């Protein structure tokens, strides 16, 4: 079991990067009243064939030589263990969506504590990707878009420290406003 949900998110987003996505969206919805936490990751990458999609949630299924093939199954297992589950929707040459649901108050639900570090790592690790992140906590919403900091992903992004600091600050302040971190 991974310690923090953000580690799963990192993993699933890396799948999208490996699938040559140019746009990746992470959406988190925490709803205490419904005792539900959902994580959705969608990309416009190459998608999977029907055959691969059927096996993608199986442990050790990988199309990448040296990888272990555990990213998706570990997320699915964690979600199922917490009274939810994971669903994969994929269309070849169009993209992939991964949605995982957790019982919010399940005793084993991994916490979601490292989102600032996770999102900054993803955005600045892949500045060429149009990266969007939306986080809702009991109706309060925070939205983040990498292009607001890095400009149009098709032009050469400026990776100077001041931009990194501005993005980090924006994430910290935004998440604080919705009651996170």
Ligand X SMILES: Nc1ncnc2c1ncn2[C@@H]1O[C@H](COP(=O)(O)OP(=O)(O)OP(=O)(O)O)[C@@H](O)[C@H]1O
Sites of contact with ligand X (CB under 6 A):
11, 15-16, 19, 43, 45-48, 52, 56, 61-64, 67-73, 96
> What is the signed CA dihedral for 169, 170, 174, 180, rounded to 10 degrees?
-40
Using CB distances below 5 to 8 A depending on partner kind, what does residue 69 bind out of Mg ion, ligand X, none?
Answer: ligand X
Residue nearest to Mg ion (CB): 71
Q: Which is nearer to ligand X, 92 or 179 (CB)?
A: 92
Q: Which is nearer to ligand X, 50 or 64 (CB)?
A: 64
CB of 107 vs ligand X, minimal distance in Å: 26
Residue nearest to ligand X (CB): 71
Using CB distances below 5 to 8 A depending on partner kind, what does residue 61 bind out of Mg ion, ligand X, none?
Answer: ligand X
Q: Which is nearer to ligand X, 69 or 85 (CB)?
A: 69
Site membership for Mg ion, residue 71 (CB under 5 A): yes
CB 56 within 8 A of CB 77: no
Using CB distances below 5 to 8 A depending on partner kind, what does residue 66 bind out of ligand X, Mg ion, none?
Answer: none
Q: Which of residues 3-42 bind Mg ion (CB under 5 A)?
A: 15
Q: Which is nearer to Mg ion, 52 or 148 (CB)?
A: 52
């Amino acid at each position: 079991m991974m310690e923090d949900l953000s580690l799963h998110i990192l993993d699933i987003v890396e799948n999208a990067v490996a699938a040559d996505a140019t746009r990746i969206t992470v959406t988190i919805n925490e709803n205490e009243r419904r005792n539900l936490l959902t994580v959705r990751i969608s990309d416009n990458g190459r998608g999977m064939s029907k055959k691969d999609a059927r096996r993608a949630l199986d442990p050790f299924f990988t199309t990448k030589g040296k990888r272990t093939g555990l990213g998706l199954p570990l997320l699915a297992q964690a979600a199922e263990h917490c009274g939810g589950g994971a669903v994969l929707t994929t269309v070849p040459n169009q993209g992939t969506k991964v949605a995982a649901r957790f019982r919010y108050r399940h005793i084993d639900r991994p916490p979601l504590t490292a989102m600032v570090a996770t999102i900054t790592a993803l955005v600045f690790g892949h500045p060429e990707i149009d990266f969007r992140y939306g986080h809702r906590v009991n109706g309060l919403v925070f939205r983040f878009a990498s292009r607001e900091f890095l400009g149009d992903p098709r032009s050469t992004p400026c990776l100077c420290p001041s931009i990194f600091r501005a993005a980090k600050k924006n994430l910290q302040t935004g998440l604080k406003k919705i009651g996170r971190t």
